[in-house]
Chain A
Amino acid sequence: DAGITQSPRHKVTETGTPVTLRCHQTENHRYMYWYRQDPGHGLRLIHYSYGVKDTDKGEVSDGYSVSRSKTEDFLLTLESATSSQTSVYFCAISENRELYEQYFGPGTRLTVT
């Protein structure tokens, strides 16, 4: 596996609480991504980063924010968690955009009650 870790791996939280998920890489790849995976939807991109402090929105970014203060860390924050954000969250990295595969972390299962 590529050097990608996610923490926590599992989390249960209550509606309205803030939650931060962390992705850490040891590959020094420029691009980092956050996806969510829900049954019947495949993976959908939430936010991505193309460098330190450089981020952009994906197709399902509402309710999420991200930060990247170091090359190796990409944080996903749910400011006020809702039940619709119950999902499995995956971080991915890639060296570049065109013609490059992405390497995925093991995922974080988040349940919002």
Chain B
Amino acid sequence: SQQGEEDPQALSIQEGENATMNCSYKTSINNLQWYRQNSGRGLVHLILIRSNEREKHSGRLRVTLDTSKKSSSLLITASRAADTASYFCATVSRSNDYKLSFGAGTTVTVRA
């Protein structure tokens, strides 16, 4: 069953704006990962954040994790047309034998 749920389901922003999407989950986790999927392609790993970390950065990406609220957010700053994609959070938990459990994703459209 899906552990993570992304919000919003879809997001449309202007180039240069920031995009924020959220992920909520139900059970304790070992780590949480974010992936990007461009149309018709496989998923690409973006960031992994461990349960004892609160924030992580990678280029224009910033991920936060609040284990007390069982939620994470992904911020893309200064968005570009190339950021148009679907973004998925995936949780990893010992109770699920360390298998990835994906949410349904957020579709981001960056308008030129």
Question: A residues engaging B (CB < 8 A)?
Answer: 1, 4, 33, 40-45, 48, 58-59, 90, 92, 97-99, 101-107
Cα distance, A19 to B35, chains bound together (Å): 29
Report whether over half of chain A's contact residues are helix, strand or loop; otherwise say mixed: loop
Known: A42-B88, A104-B43. A99 touches B102 (CB 8 A): no
B42→A105 contact, CB < 8 A: yes
B85 within 8 A of partner (CB): no
Q: Which residues from A are CB-within-8-Å of B81?
A: none
- Size of the B side of the interface (Cβ < 8 Å), in residues, is 25
B50 within 8 A of partner (CB): yes
Complex interface bits, B27-64 against A, C-beta within 8 A gives 1, otherwise 0:
00011010100001111110010100000000000000
Q: Which residues from A are CB-within-8-Å of B43?
A: 43, 90, 92, 102, 104
Q: Which residues from A are CB-within-8-Å of B103?
A: 42
- In the assembled complex, how far is the CB of residue A88 from the closest CB belonging to chain B, in whole angstroms? 9
- In the assembled complex, how far is the CB of residue B16 from the closest CB belonging to chain A, in whole angstroms? 29
CB-based nearest A residue for B88: A42
B18 within 8 A of partner (CB): no
Cα distance, A53 to B2, chains bound together (Å): 28
CB-based nearest A residue for B99: A45
B100 within 8 A of partner (CB): yes
